[in-house]
Structure 1
């Protein structure tokens, strides 16, 4: 049960977005741009950044949902995502993605934890300035989303299949409808 009466039974951020559709619209639009628009990082890679930060923040709903969203879009699926979130340095992902996830992890701690060395390592691994920018923005946005979801005590389903069902919708329809 959420800390406030939402007037709906939707889990996590979905319930909050139904409660305040005017803010939900903007938050969904931001997620759509960050996680689904054209980008040199794949949708799965960007979902993995969201998952990694949500896992570090211990946000049960966001980490479970974005794990499913990333797994649905990355070769290696759930196993790869779980490995990256539990032991980043040995995960079978590119050095570029590892460097970007390290940056995301520093943003999760505090923005000033990101150093010139972190950025140089990402560039040396092939990351572009836009990829570094987008990684920092995804990480920062998910710190906000995670705190929003957990700060209001929203419901997180226990059944992993419910997150896989959400993944089907997100991967086919996205976060925000386009005109």
Structure 2
């Protein structure tokens, strides 16, 4: 009975941990390193724990692929601010400008039903047939998007601990 319980526990815990992480709402955040408006948004995100609540992929717009992706989102959402930063895309929303993002992002993403997957900019990856090998380069900073190794460590500890218990029980009999 103990073996069955340990075996089941070893597989249930990681499933629950990983399932919890996938429920976060996701967004692309386009920014510029030297942009003062982007710094305002970054400070707001940091002060309000936005990176902990939502899975935000930061894309620096000076990267050519990221700039094309930003333009594609601007075109898809018929924004007059195509290519402007800061901008954030999620579900069926595209918000441009520091104050609009600060004022509306949390409310809008919480109301969005389909924000659990990153939005599609249409054919952004095929915008230029000759340059399809270049990939997006999301920037991971200390406050956002770092994938936690905690669930992996728990899974490994459960497996090792369960294996040790099974081994010790076998040795006694």
State the TM-score, normalizing by the size of structure 2: 0.26
Structure number with greater Rg is 2
The structure in which a higher percent of residues are strand is 2
Higher relative contact order (Cα pairs below 8 Å, separated by 6+ residues): 1
The structure carrying a bigger helix percent of its residues is 1
